[in-house]
Chains A and B, each alone.
Chain A
């Protein structure tokens, strides 16, 4: 697609339920990122995928959070047993991979985000 697509755009869930957030990156982008933005806060790095390499999961806040990327394209961020503090905007982004040139590589393009509210 033309841009990074995220779904759902809004999700209200009850505490304790599991949620799945989906990200469809820009076609041809091999790097994919997930960030979390709490109300009025900065961006918290969660995880990134680059091609077939093992993902960098260093930002995942707890073992309730997991993400996968199937076929090197679409990614799903799963939050199990949601808590109220999980309420935030979850932003997905993608970029071209290495070896693509300094002029066009490395810029991260963001989706509009998935707004999660845990009640």
Chain B
């Protein structure tokens, strides 16, 4: 069975500093990995995904994520955080053989001015 872990409930970072939101996964086959962001009282918005190819994936709003197969991780990063990045971030994994997609518990990012 597939699973996703986001070990941090909350991440605090100062505006302008780099940010990292951690995600590790477990899946039987090849993983499809996703990051989504949720702003208050809104649905989830897609940020980026890893299917195959380059381990470093670039997505919306300057975010990127690095797929590390040996560490089964897919951490979300941004070189310089903005206050407007403050939101709830979800990592998700799908076993490449199917369609069931499992989400992590979410990490709340606070960016202080």
Contact = CB atoms under 8 A, between A and B. Distances in A.
Interface of A: 31, 33, 35, 41-43, 45, 48, 50, 56, 58, 91, 93, 95, 98, 102, 106-113
Nearest to B6: A42
Given A106-B51, A107-B46, A110-B43, A42 B103 contact: yes
Contact of A45 (B34, B103, B105, B106): B103
A56 B100 contact: yes
Contact of B90 (A42, A56, A102): A42
The DSSP consensus for interface residues of chain B is strand
A106 B103 contact: no
Interface string B89-107: 0101010000111111110
Interface of B: 32, 34, 36, 42-46, 49, 51-52, 90, 92, 94, 99-106
A102 B92 CA distance: 17
A101 to B, nearest CB: 10
Given A45-B102, A91-B43, A110-B36, 14 more contacts: A33-B101, A35-B103, A42-B90, A45-B100, A45-B103, A56-B99, A106-B49, A107-B46, A107-B49, A108-B34, A108-B101, A110-B43, A111-B43, A112-B42
A101 B86 CA distance: 33
Contacts of B106: 41-43
Contacts of B42: 112
Contacts of B44: 43, 91, 93, 110
Closest 3 CB pairs of A and B: A42-B105, A43-B103, A110-B44
